[in-house]
Structure 1
């Protein structure tokens, strides 16, 4: 049985970080059921591509999401990630309210 999803791990990591900018890589990995190494690689790719900034504060990293960056899907380049994250967070809140 295939274990694919509609939302990529990159999008899922962005969603977690947008909810908690001080989240640890260990907690990202745990909440998404990916390895800590995968979480680290994804965060580095998002930083390198300009979707996130990472700032060290003491022993923690603080992340900033850059919401005006475009989606990477060619068919959705006119949609910025901020709009995508707003939609996902709103839908998650509505699903929790129904449950």
Structure 2
């Protein structure tokens, strides 16, 4: 458990933080295990990313029984000064439009 099925070398357009945020935007009740599988990360990495996002004010969670329900803070701005302008919600809307299944 916790193994990533495929490794990737080289650079990518999205950070792991962005991937986790997109997964949560698609399903606010998604389990860490499922986020990890979707993002091809370990569960431990996803836990750390979620903690980073919460500490940065991008995400909050509430406990619902044995699960968490996440809430993305839509008015927050991207962290890097070069990304000045769009909010997290605007970025997620853009990514959602292009979130189609990958072709083999």
Relative to the length of structure 2, the TM-score reads 0.85
Match of 2:41 among 34, 40, 52: 34
Is 1:79 the counterpart of 2:86? The answer is: yes
Relative to the length of structure 1, the TM-score reads 0.89
Q: C-alpha displacement at 1:73, in angstroms? A: 1.9
Distance 1:52 1:17 in 2: 9
Distance 1:3 1:21 in 2: 30
Q: C-alpha displacement at 1:78, in angstroms? A: 1.4
Match of 1:48 among 40, 55, 66: 55
Gaps of 5+ in 1: none
Number of aligned positions between the proteins: 94
List, as ranges, runs of 4+ consecutive aligned residues in structure 1 with deviation greater than 4 Å: none
Gaps of 5+ in 2: 1-7
Match of 1:65 among 52, 68, 72: 72
Distance 1:56 1:70 in 2: 25
Q: C-alpha displacement at 1:3, in angstroms? A: 3.0
SS at match of 2:71: strand
